[in-house]
Amino acid sequence: MRIAILHNQDHALLEDDPGREAREDVVRVAAAMRAALGKSKQHTVSLLPVEADLLGIHEALATDKPDVVLNLCESLAADARGEMLVPAMLELMQVPYTGSSALSLALALHKNKAKEILRARGVPSPAFCVIGHVEDLADVDLPFPLIVKPSREDASMGIDFDSVVTSKQGLGRAVAKVLRTFHQPALVEQYIEGREVYVPLLGNSPRRALPLSEIRFGNAFVGKPHVVSYKAKWDLDSPECIESPSELASLPPDVEARCIQVAMDAFEALECRDYGRVDLRVDSAGQPYVIDINPNCDLHPQAGFARAAEAAGLSFADLALHLVDLAWERRHGNQAPRLTRPDSARRAAEPHRDLHAGRGVVRARAHRRRAHAQQP
Ligand SMILES: Nc1ncnc2c1ncn2[C@@H]1O[C@H](COP(=O)(O)OP(=O)(O)O)[C@@H](O)[C@H]1O
Ligand SMILES: [Mg+2]
């Protein structure tokens, strides 16, 4: 099988990128995936870095004609909002790819939209509001403490100790900083004191939870909010990072079951697929709240998802192959064998191609039946 690993390589594009370290990490994940998949003699694996030019990638894929794309793209041109364009293009090209669709990635990134869906479906998530202009601060009608985050970023971008606020002044400062730095609305959310638990999910039908992990907040957090800030996630030498390791969670069985159920419901609500991680805060009563849904989460071999897979008996290479299999299972939805001419375009497989026509047929039949019924 020909596997192309598509990943963003845009960390050096901006002079002052608040997410540079997170973006740079993807390049290492891609290299690790290539090494892991390369061990299998049945596959040829290529790396396709994307800076900003998605159309260039379209050309490369059209020439390369991979059977499956392992999609690790988290941004385009150092903008996370470009992430969703990649699966959209792969759909258009009818190439099966790993991970979630454009719809799910877009919803997960637009945190307020994701929260509206979760709350409509009764999946617990902290109360919130969205502030697009400092003048709207007077509209915030939520009790302190609150946390302020960019509404459309991930990887803890824009999160530091000052993001947790207990006064109107602190709130104003934190919101103004998000608006200034990220040029996007700020999400103001109820701050949930409690344990931070991650639920890694793998597969579709069936879908299973891999062993849960929990952040252990150490001395660097004494007297400070227990938040996984950007520094804690990416500045490996900082006290915040050293003292916030993630370890296997040890929760009472009923709380663990609740966490898994809430995470599954959240994943399902956004129609995520293949793999991902749902981040929860669990309050003192054992009630989990969804704070973040991460489809296409970080797959670095040392990061949480791969370690959870390892704890469940799946080596990194097994995990990589499993993800490829999950995408391959969808090939009839996205792709069919090429026609015999080497330059011919791919066509969707019959069952999929019939989808729209099929509906037409059903409608036409229903119509005929009605027309028939009206006859004397
Ligand atoms: N409502 C909340 N209550 C408590 N802590 C929160 C809340 N929202 C975010 N955090 C903290 O901030 C971190 C980053 O927030 P998150 O929503 O996961 O953003 P990102 O998508 O950038 O990862 C979390 O890991 C957690 O420590
Ligand atoms: Mg998060």
* Region 251-260 average pLDDT: 98
Q: Which of 49-58, 332-341, 344-353 has the highest mean pLDDT?
A: 49-58
Distance CA 360, CA 22 (A): 46
Distance 292 CA to ligand 2 centre (A): 5
192-240 residue pLDDT tens: 999 999 999 999 999 999 999 999 999 999 999 999 999 999 899 999 9
Q: What is the DSSP string of 216-244?
A: ---GGGTTS-----HHHHH-TTSHHHHT-
The minimum-distance atom of ligand 1 relative to the CA of 191 is 3
Q: Please give the pLDDT value at position 344.
A: 52
Nearest-10 Cα torsion for 303, 307, 308, 314: 130
Q: Considering every ligand atom, which ligand is closest to the CA of 158?
A: 1
Distance CA 116, CA 123 (A): 10
> Percent of the chain beyond pLDDT 90?
74
Nearest residue by C-alpha to atom 13 in ligand 1 = 228
Answer whether CATH 3.40.50 is correct for domain 2-99+327-331.
yes
318-335 residue pLDDT tens: 999 999 999 999 987 644
Q: Which residues on adjacent β-strands are paired with residue 50?
A: 8
- Average pLDDT over all residues of the chain: 88
Q: Please give the pLDDT value at position 149.
A: 98
Distance CA 117, CA 131 (A): 19
Q: Is the pLDDT of residue 363 over 50?
A: no
Nearest residue by C-alpha to atom 2 in ligand 1 = 191
Q: Please give the pLDDT value at position 373.
A: 40
Nearest residue by C-alpha to atom 9 in ligand 1 = 291
Ligand 2 ion: Cβ-proximal residues, 5 Å cutoff: 279, 292
Q: Please give the pLDDT value at position 342.
A: 53
Q: Please give the pLDDT value at position 362.
A: 35
Ligand 1 proximity of 149 Cβ (cutoff 6 Å): yes
Instruction: Choose one of 23, 181, 195, 291 to mutate for the ligand 1 pocket test, by most ligand atoms within 8 angstroms of C-beta.
Output: 291
Distances from the Cα of 93 to the Cα of 197, 282, 360, angstroms: 38, 42, 24
* Region 91-96 average pLDDT: 93
* Region 342-369 average pLDDT: 40
102 within 8 A of 76, measured Cβ to Cβ:
no
Report how far Cα 116 is from the mean position of its chain's Cα atoms.
Answer: 17
Q: Is the pLDDT of residue 82 over 90?
A: no
* Region 125-139 average pLDDT: 96
Q: Is the pLDDT of residue 147 over 80?
A: yes
pTM: 0.87
Report how far Cα 90 is from the mean position of its chain's Cα atoms.
Answer: 17
> What are the extents of the domains in the chain?
2-99+327-331, 336-376
Q: Please give the pLDDT value at position 113.
A: 97
Q: Is the pLDDT of residue 347 over 90?
A: no
Q: Is the pLDDT of residue 51 over 90?
A: no
Q: Please give the pLDDT value at position 370.
A: 39
Q: Which residues on adjacent β-strands are paired with residue 213?
A: 198, 248
